[in-house]
Amino acid sequence: MYNAKPCDGVVECTALVLAEGCAELDGRLTLFGILDELRPGAEGLHFVVYAKFEGCEHADGGERRARILVTDEDGEVLEESVEYSVWLSGEEGPATIVASFDLSGDLGGEEGLLWVEAELDEETLAQTAIPLRERYNV
Q: For the segment 8-33, what is each residue's pLDDT rounded down to a tens digit? A: 777 888 999 999 999 998 988 999 99
Residue-wise burial string across 90-116, b where 16 or more C-beta atoms lie within 10 A, e elsewhere:
eeeeebbbbbebebeeebeeeeeebbb
Read off the pLDDT band of 121 (50, 70, 90): very high
Query: What does the pLDDT look like over 60-76, one tens digit per residue?
Result: 777 889 999 999 888 89
Of 23, 15, 20, 78, nearest in space to 50 by CA:
15
Residues 6+ apart with CB under 8 A from 91: 54, 55, 56, 57, 59
The predicted model scores a pTM of 0.84
Per DSSP, the three-state class of 132 is: strand
Backbone phi, psi, residue 75, to 5°:
85, 5
Cα(24)–Cα(30) distance, integer angstroms: 6
- pLDDT over threshold 60, residue 1: no
Sorted by sequence, the CB contacts under 8 Å of residue 13 that are 6+ apart come out as 51, 52, 53, 118, 120, 125, 126
* Bridge partners, 116 (sequence order): 70, 128
Which CA distances in Å does 113 have to 18, 48, 69, 137?
14, 17, 14, 15
